[in-house]
Structure 1
Amino acid sequence: MTDSSPLSTLVPGSPVAPGGSPLLTLDDVRAARERIGDAVLHTPTTISRTLSAMVGANVFLKFENLQFTAAYKERGALNTLLMMDKEQRERGVIAASAGNHAQGLAYHGARLGVPVTIVMPQTTPQVKVYQTASHGAEIVLHGEKYDDAYAHARELEQERGLTFVHPFDDPRIAAGQGTVALEMLEDQPEIDTLIIPIGGGGLFSGMGTAARGLRPDIRLIGVQAELYPSMYARLNHVDMPCEGDTLAEGIAVKQPGEFTSGVVAKLADDIVLVAERHLERAVSLLLQIEKTVVEGAGAAGFAALLAHGDRFKGRNVGLVLCGGNIDTRLLANVLLRDLARSGRLARLRIRLQDRPGALFNVMSVFNSLQVNIVEIYHQRIFTTLPAKGLITDIECELRDRDHLDSLVSALRKAGYQVTMVELA
């Protein structure tokens, strides 16, 4: 049955619907919530006392990483599927995605009996291919980059008579994502600021529309990774590169949507950028303090608080932990790097003389301060030192930064040349 909601007649990609009416409204988001019902989890929104004290603001966390596919993308995917007519559902849908959109569409397509085809770049990690295929989707691997997969998906759309489901540039998708804000503001009405991750802009468009419709005075702040400032650059009319390996791959979008750009431009009070070190720190703190796993994009809101804390002092800030799909090895690296930045894990480069007892003597300094040694690396050949000299890198565990400073001071007092191997 064809859905009679106003959104079913709108053309994705245009700033307004035919006749000049808004492309997305609070009523559309409310209709999406009724449509979705309990097929998507109403995730909790709770205050974090520890994070609040850390940044000087009241921090409310929305745990969208608790969805079945561990991401909010289910909401928009399901809303879009439910708004299609019977013929479209029977023919099936297609999307280009290597991430959460693919899994959300595949999962709810299987639930509804809708055939789903997902085109992924050939470079997609096997774990993501497997996770999406496990929901019953047909996987087509094509091209080296997302753009290649996207182009091929549009070709298959025509060849097979499928319906393409865009990951963000569609008002039906945005309406579904907007249900996140409805839940947040109902559960925690004191929230006066929302910090919302922006990739293509679908989440911000939906949440911003719902929040501003309910509370005209609410502050809406978007956040992007410094390496992919596409929406920031577009709305500020500046040319900025969008490239590099960001931890926030879920919002690493080079070209934001046409429809979403119009909505974000209208609603956003500002867009802030966050560096990789802030994203890493946010992922680590959320795991250590809140005991919850988030991917880089899911931690972007808290990263904005860490990077731009003065702007949010004393406010009631709502953050969306929008996804929890992070590779375990990558997560381990992030945690170890955070230990290094905090001074609890360090690598010291020490110059020694190549003679018996040299290593034993330097170890005695570590032992005197009760420093645990993790790894030792000796380098005699590939060094600029004289033949009788050597470099030793020692990885060690410490209590905190003060403990590390005490160790370095003791080594230098004992006559050793010591340098810290720093992280970027």
Structure 2
Amino acid sequence: MSDRSSASNRPTLSDIMQAADKIKGAVLRTPTLPAKQLSDILGANIYVKYDNMQVTNAFKERGALNKLLSLSEEERKHGVIAMSAGNHAQAVALHATRLGIPSLIVMPEFTPFVKVAATKGFGAEVILEGETVAEAGDAAMRLAKNRGLTFVHPYDDYKIIAGQGTIALEMLADVPDLETLIVPIGGGGMISGIAIAAKSINPEIEVIGVESELYPTMYNELKHKDLFCGGQSLAEGIAVKKAGKLTAEIASELLDDIILVTERDIERAINAYATYLKTMAEGAGAVPLAAVIAEPARFKDKKVGLVLGGGNIDPRLLSSIIVRQLGRKQQIVGLRITIPDRPGILAELSSIIGDLGGNILEVDHHRTFLNVPVKGASIDITIETRDAAHANEIIMAIESAGHSVEYLNKPDISD
């Protein structure tokens, strides 16, 4: 085991181990557990690190607390400031309040109310300023200078990186023979700390980062590309347009690769965590699993550790994702049926569907659509089925009864 570090301004394994001792008891030591169903489906031997179990439901507490514990008495007295639209804000607020340190969090004006309320609930003063995260960051730096506050950076900080690196210590203590670690990348704080710790413990271990295709920030940095960054991503927690300077240096030395994943793969990963492992994963936390879903052959038969870094997902969004996945599997099917406009026809359709074991979830009746005969009608029916074969059986029965059927949500071939 070596204490790997090539620059004095970056953490070493010793720093990460010291961070683990400092945060012990105040930050949950989360489990790394086998995921048999995912392993069977994807062909890899998958283990999941459940850091969505923290009080704030995200890994950010590790680095935030390690940073706060490093402050002098004078710095603690004056207080701290952070910029964040989510998990970092809550982590700083929670542990600053616990340590008796005043905290001010600057959040962009678009931040959802639930996140603002949660941050206030952990004891921070919250200011909403700026239309973007970058503008909120500028405001935070200005306030830090004017008020004499210590700025707690979300990722590009020695102590933050060391704190996040404790994830790797726990994973390799639980499963020492992991061959590959797959880690989300936003600004790079977590993967930098994990890479330092993991490569120091086992130089042969593979450390792979994952970014959304919409925000290939570290990918651009390390591979000298200029891919566009922007758009609405499910993984908003890692939707960062500028990587940290220190984190990029560490990543360029220690990472084995970076995988870019699509929004569809992220969606599938969130659904897989909910349906197979019965756990909540936000988009940023789900991207390591999305990488395995995107490239299963690459990880076949390998012992792979996935970092589930956060579970702060809007329940309505999660519900929508689950229903969409049921549609992809054709377990929820939308049909538009053209019928003669006469009494009893809806009962006939209900009987056909019911006799075959389908469950009608929703019916919408149309008579005024111009593409429907004046003596006819159109009915949109949403049906719950067992699988694609069952859905097809129901459709064929409806067509055999003389009705025209249009499939409203049939998945395309890539689904």
Structure 2 length-normalised TM: 0.93
The answer to whether the aligner puts 1:238 opposite 2:221 as a matched pair is no
The answer for the alignment partner of 2:364 in structure 1 is 377
2:36 corresponds, among 38, 49, 62, to 49
Shift of 1:78: 0.5
1:179 matches 2:143 = no
Residue by residue over 1:193-217, the C-alpha shift from the partner in whole angstroms, topping out at 9 and shown as x without a partner, is 0000111111111101110111100
Q: Identify if the C-alpha distance between structure 1 residues 229 and 184 changes in structure 2 by more than 3 Å, giving closer, same or farther.
A: same
From 384, 387, 393, the counterpart of 1:400? 387
Q: What is the CA-CA distance between 1:174 and the residue it aligns to?
A: 0.9
Aligned 8 A contact 1:295 1:326 in 2 = yes
Deviation at 1:28, TM superposition (A): 1.9
Helix, strand or coil: the match of 1:166? coil
Query: 2:293 matched to which residue of 1?
Result: 306
CA distance in 2, matches of 1:410, 1:259: 63
**Equivalence for 2:276:** 289
Q: CA deviation at 1:53?
A: 1.0
Deviations 1:370-423 (Å, cap 9, x if unpaired)? 211011112333443443443321111111222112122222333333222236
Residue type of the partner of 1:79? N
Tell me how far apart the structure 1 counterparts of residues 205 and 137 of structure 2 sit (CA, whole Å): 36
Are 1:364 and 2:351 counterparts?
A: yes
Please state if 1:68 is matched with 2:42.
no
Instruction: Say which of 280, 299, 319 aligns to 2:267.
Output: 280
Does residue 241 of structure 2 align to residue 251 of structure 1?
A: no
Q: Which residue identity is paired with 2:127?
A: V
Structure 2 residue aligned with 1:417: 404
Give CA-to-partner distance per residue, 1:255-277, whole Å, 9 cap, x none: 22121112112111111122222
Provide Cα deviations, 1:63-119, integer angstroms capped at 9, x if missing partner.
101111111100000011111211111111111111110011111101111111001
Which blocks of at least 5 consecutive residues in structure 2 are unaligned? none
| 1:393 partner letter | D
In terms of mean alpha carbon deviation, does 25-34 or 163-172 score higher?
25-34
**Alignment-mate amino acid for residue 229 of structure 2:** C
CA distance in 2, matches of 1:415, 1:233: 57
In structure 2, do the counterparts of structure 1 residues 380 and 296 end up closer, same or farther at CA, with 3 Å as the change threshold?
Answer: same
Partner of 1:61, secondary structure, is strand
From the superposition, tell whether residues 388 and 256 of structure 1 become closer, same or farther in structure 2 (CA, over 3 Å): farther
8 Å CA contact 2:9–2:158 kept in 1: the answer is no
Q: Is the 8 A contact 1:383 1:391 kept in 2?
A: no
Mark the runs of 5 or more structure 1 residues left unpaired by the alignment. 1-14
Q: For 1:184-239, what per-residue CA distance to the aligned partner results, in whole angstroms no more than 9, with x for missing partners?
A: 00111011100001111111111011101111000111111222222222322222
Question: Which is worse superposed, 366-375 or 231-240?
Answer: 231-240
- Output the CA distance in 2 between the equivalents of 1:116 and 1:382: 58
Tell me, in whole angstroms, the C-alpha distance in 1 between the residues paired with 2:370 and 2:130.
43
Distance 2:75 2:220 in 1: 36
Q: Give the corresponding residue for 1:168.
A: 155
Counterpart in the other structure of 1:4: none
Between Structure 1 and Structure 2, how many residues are aligned? Answer: 407
| 1:254 match: secondary structure | coil
Matched, 1:226 2:213: yes
